[in-house]
A and B are shown apart, each in its own frame.
Chain A
């Protein structure tokens, strides 16, 4: 139904555009009257009045429709004090499933009348929606038509409409972010009511599985000591550092090479090739780490007499480092290219060699940008999940030995939420607490990085 209405609105709007345009063209041709704007603006104006109010109504109506139906249907059940919110929701889902013929199993006799009621209410709502939208279209079109005959400044109105449309898109993006953050926040607050925030941040024992075992009636005392997130913070930091110690030197030097030494032709080939690294799915990196790099390190370790577990922080970190090389190298290349040529020539003209010039003039000038790119790479490393899940293991060890298994915040979120979970026990809520911590970390790093990059831009552009 919605699809039909949507198609209708689009067709109407389009014909309104054509109609408005030709109407103005004809009027000015016949009567010689001079209009404020070009004819197509009157077309756009008419189309906007036809389409936008209808679309807005369609949007909100469709959202509230189900809600309205639910209120009508459940009115009968509300009186029963034994039914709480969850059970009411369940009943409604069953009724809906019966009505839509998707119910599996034996249909409970008692619910059948309600499913018929569901269908009839639905039909009424759908019809009235169509009627309302059509009448809105007619109403707003009459208004808009009278407006264009009055020779309003359609060009300016269209400008306003465009502005509003752009703004709403931006607003959607912002509100989505806000919604995500808020949902994280609320779930985390629930978590922190059963586990103290202090224990979470400072505890060194991470074993949420134990809380799950006692799930049935979780006592605060039971969960106190199993949600210490320090091993995860440490693991995240540790693996990110290993990754950076691979990505920074290689990325930095290859960036410098591309910007300063390679010929333009060679750079054109090599830069996209390096950027391919960023395009490889992380899951591919993951099995590369788990099946190739991990065992490789273990064999080397065995030969050296070291005890290397096949899932190690080292393997995950190194592979993650390879993945983020292009972030560092491409950005380094860009910021170095942004350093004015005149500075290089100034240094060369004093008799400095190329590497002296790079070391003493180009890199210091590009440093803020390079630091920014490294910070962006770090936030990428911190958020990376798949490689760690596959290659670093799940054990929450608090260790500085890179050869042992380790785990990160993201990995734990995955393991906590995999499979069927009930959403109101501390174990699952812990995922949200971890999520918001992670979000907080990367947010701060990103803000710092973007500020540094911005400062750098201001200096030279």
Chain B
């Protein structure tokens, strides 16, 4: 595709919910410090896929993940891997903003405190400030860090969750439809933010919006019924896809 460095690669990834198979033989390489968009109709397995990358599917009792997932060349889909360390390196932002019922400050400080990243209050303050600045929320909340995170608007809450994810300085940020609960203005802000964040982080974003995928990503993967139909440069996918189905989906003929 090009000579960027591969950050995460999956080989023969199969996921089952009980007897039902949700993903079939996914082989996908995610490039470092690029935005990769995953598109496809509802229920096609995009979310299931990114939840494999930080082992969030472990939470679901009946979910079984088979195959290889390598981050920087080392396998993470193994029993003896420390899941919490993986999640420290690979953060996640969810579809619905889910700030903790704590103050804005404590929402951000949560991760650094758990992982012991700040030896002193000053360092912690700095981390909080930086994370909020990076997520373009600082100016809006700097005077009310003690108010509950749930008091913010939907778009602000989502940026708070992004700030929370980057507070522990992860390598990868997974975003599961981060804008689907937001209005267009808040969405535009988040997209701007993603553009900014890709300088420091590898980003994977699941989205239902073709235009969003086209705007923010460099690579795009198209999923359909649990299979990766096509994966290529975003430009190529949207202008001249190889697969007929991809063509049909992005032009809105099905899905």
CB contacts (< 8 Å) of B190 on chain A: these are: none
**B238 on the interface (CB 8 Å rule)?**
no
A92 vs B84: C-alpha distance in the bound complex, in angstroms? 84
CB contacts (< 8 Å) of A347 on chain B: these are: 100, 110
Closest to B150 in A: A459
**B45 on the interface (CB 8 Å rule)?**
no
B residues near A (Cβ < 8 Å) are: 54, 56, 59, 61, 84-88, 91-92, 94, 96, 98-102, 110-111, 114-115, 161, 164-165, 168
CB contacts (< 8 Å) of B99 on chain A: these are: 346
Least distance between A81 CB and chain B CB atoms (Å) = 75
* Interchain CB contact under 8 A, B87 and A349: yes
**A272 on the interface (CB 8 Å rule)?**
no
For the residues of A in contact with B, the DSSP-based class is helix
CB contacts (< 8 Å) of A356 on chain B: these are: 114
**A450 on the interface (CB 8 Å rule)?**
no
* Interchain CB contact under 8 A, B56 and A348: yes
* Interchain CB contact under 8 A, B98 and A346: yes
A110 vs B37: C-alpha distance in the bound complex, in angstroms? 105
* Interchain CB contact under 8 A, A346 and B94: yes
Quick one: given A342-B94, A360-B110, are A350 and B100 in contact (CB under 8 Å)? no
Given A346-B164, A350-B110, 6 other A-B residues pairs in contact with their CB atoms under 8 A:
A342-B96, A348-B56, A349-B56, A349-B94, A351-B111, A360-B114
A360 vs B168: C-alpha distance in the bound complex, in angstroms? 17
A360 vs B164: C-alpha distance in the bound complex, in angstroms? 15
A residues near B (Cβ < 8 Å) are: 263-264, 340, 342-353, 356, 360-361, 364-365, 459
* Interchain CB contact under 8 A, B115 and A351: yes
Quick one: given A340-B98, A361-B100, A365-B101, are A351 and B56 in contact (CB under 8 Å)? no
Closest to B99 in A: A346
A255 vs B115: C-alpha distance in the bound complex, in angstroms? 28
Q: Which of A345, A352, A365 contacts B94 (CB 8 A)?
A: A345
Quick one: given A343-B100, A364-B101, A365-B101, are A350 and B91 in contact (CB under 8 Å)? yes
* Interchain CB contact under 8 A, B87 and A351: yes
A263 vs B62: C-alpha distance in the bound complex, in angstroms? 11
Interface centre among B54, B110, B164 (most CB of A within 10 A): B110
Least distance between A330 CB and chain B CB atoms (Å) = 22
Least distance between B201 CB and chain A CB atoms (Å) = 15
A340 vs B94: C-alpha distance in the bound complex, in angstroms? 13
Least distance between A392 CB and chain B CB atoms (Å) = 41
Closest to B114 in A: A352
Q: Which of B61, B86, B101 contacts A459 (CB 8 A)?
A: B101
A345 vs B87: C-alpha distance in the bound complex, in angstroms? 11
Closest to A341 in B: B59
CB contacts (< 8 Å) of A344 on chain B: these are: 59
Closest to B62 in A: A264
Interface centre among B96, B99, B100, B161 (most CB of A within 10 A): B100
CB contacts (< 8 Å) of A351 on chain B: these are: 84-88, 111, 114-115, 168
Closest to B86 in A: A351
Closest to B106 in A: A360
